[in-house]
Chains A and B, each alone.
Chain A
Amino acid sequence: KNEVEQSPQNLTAQEGEFITINCSYSVGISALHWLQQHPGGGIVSLFMLSSGKKKHGRLIATINIQEKHSSLHITASHPRDSAVYICAPRMHLAGGGADGLTFGKGTHLIIQP
């Protein structure tokens, strides 16, 4: 079973600050999602990555497959970034078998104006 650890669990920051959320997992994976969940409950996939780095606007995600670690960065944070961010590695066994996401417990981010 893949154990997924996220840190920090809770983070409050001031508008404009650079934010980093970390994720580590215990077994080999094929890819990793970063998800965003707003207070209304809907879930949006921000990134799916299997190597290196991806950037979308002010969001950057990196992954190191060998070290089993990924980070999500938010530059120039804004109050609308306030949400829960969830790391979700994809287990995919070659040749068949289990295929799905396991999830970290999430990071509750609050950006104050």
Chain B
Amino acid sequence: EAQVTQNPRYLITVTGKKLTVTCSQNMNHEYMSWYRQDPGLGLRQIYYSMNVEVTDKGDVPEGYKVSRKEKRNFPLILESPSPNQTSLYFCASGWPQHFGDGTRLSIL
């Protein structure tokens, strides 16, 4: 089954504790992207990748890192999470975009 898999689905953590949200797709898509969704602000792009080893900033990249060492994986890294990064995060791949189920992140 074609899918985008994110893990974890839910996470509560504390300020400053590094975390990684994984994203994997099995559709051989070159393009992958991360978005965050916040009440009143809607969805916004964090980072995207056109292909392996090619990544670029979206609209709200501050406080995040990404890597694309293999085509199928595109992890989102929060090296020093802060409460303003509490949000619902979506990974997506391909065109049209296939979305993962989302990761609800709470940073205390």
Contact = CB atoms under 8 A, between A and B. Distances in A.
Sorting the interface of chain B by its residue count into under 10, 10 to 19, 20 to 34 or 35 or more gives 20 to 34
Contact of B97 (A42, A45, A98, A105): A45
Interface string A36-54: 0000011111011000000
Given A41-B102, A86-B42, A106-B42, A101 B96 contact: no
A42 B42 contact: no
B22 interface: no
Contacts of B42: 86, 103-106
Contacts of A106: 42
Interface of A: 31, 33, 35, 41-45, 47-48, 86, 88, 90, 98-106
Given A42-B102, A45-B97, A99 B31 contact: yes
Given A86-B42, A88-B43, A106-B42, A101 B97 contact: yes
Contacts of A99: 31, 48, 50, 56
Contacts, number: 51
A71 to B, nearest CB: 18
A106 B43 CA distance: 9
Interface string B39-65: 000111100101000001011000000
Given A42-B102, A88-B43, A101-B45, 4 more contacts: A31-B95, A45-B99, A100-B48, A100-B58
Contacts of A42: 99, 101-102
A44 B101 CA distance: 10
B74 interface: no
A104 B96 CA distance: 17
